[in-house]
Amino acid sequence: MHEGFHDVAWLARTRAEGDVTAWLERLPYARHIGVSATPDDAGEGEGLIYQLEPHEHNVGNILLPALHGGVVAAFMETAGTLDLMMATREPRLPRIVDFSIDYLRTARVVPTHARCRLLREGRRLANVQVVAWQEAETLPVATARLHFVLATPDEDA
């Protein structure tokens, strides 16, 4: 089998290496909007911080100007999914069930960051919280909440 999310060995290896970049390379829409991930050097743990590039094609309001709220949502969904894949006890492939986002401030056309928290990992379901900010983490532009069904890589048909 070729390398990819459905290749159990590849998924386990990239996960052990913390290679979120290899995962992002296989997500065309996440690449289109410009999502990347970097280790949280300043933080205590070994978490990741996700970035969204302020591409011109991510703009949703040219008058303000501001990023497209839906693009910010897609960024946060991507971050939540990848972070969950890294955080689960075993390699799992999450499938999104529902997604909810609250917009707190206008997202300007500057780099946007996100941090995720796995609030609950059950046998079948997971709940992930995502916070996105721009200038300062204490001034979030949006918070999101995601529910996922967790499949094992070989059983998710």
Partner 1 sequence: MPNASPPTADEWRTALTRFVTVIPHTRGLGLDVVSVDPPEVIMRLPWQDALLGDVERGLVHGGVLTMLLDTVCGSAVLCGLPEPEVCPTLDLRVDHYRPAVAGMAILAEARVVRVTASMVFTEGTLWQTPGRTIARGIGNFVRLGARNTPPGFGEALFGDADHA
Q: Kindly indicate which of the ranges 43-51, 74-82, 83-91, 130-138 contains the residues binding partner 1, using the contact rule CB under 8 A.
A: 74-82
> Is residue 112 a contact point for partner 1 (CB under 8 A)?
no
Closest distance to partner 1 from the beta carbon of 143 (Å): 10
- Cα distances (Å, whole numbers) of residue 126 to 91, 94, 96, 116, 121: 13, 8, 10, 13, 5
Position among 30, 82, 84, 116 found at the interface with partner 1 (CB under 8 A):
30
CB 152 within 8 A of CB 7: no
> Is residue 136 a contact point for partner 1 (CB under 8 A)?
no
Q: Of 43 and 55, which CB lies nearer to partner 1 in the complex structure? A: 55
Q: Kindly indicate which of the ranges 13-21, 27-35, 113-121, 127-135 contains the residues binding partner 1, using the contact rule CB under 8 A.
A: 27-35
> Is residue 60 a contact point for partner 1 (CB under 8 A)?
yes
**Beta bridge pairs of residue 133:** 113, 140
Closest distance to partner 1 from the beta carbon of 60 (Å): 5
- Cα distances (Å, whole numbers) of residue 12 to 26, 68, 80, 121: 15, 34, 18, 18
DSSP state of 124: S
CB 127 within 8 A of CB 83: no
> Is residue 152 a contact point for partner 1 (CB under 8 A)?
no
CB 111 within 8 A of CB 73: no
Which spans of this chain sit near partner 1 (rule: CB under 8 A)? 2, 4-6, 26-33, 56-63, 68-71, 73-75, 77-78, 81, 96-103, 106
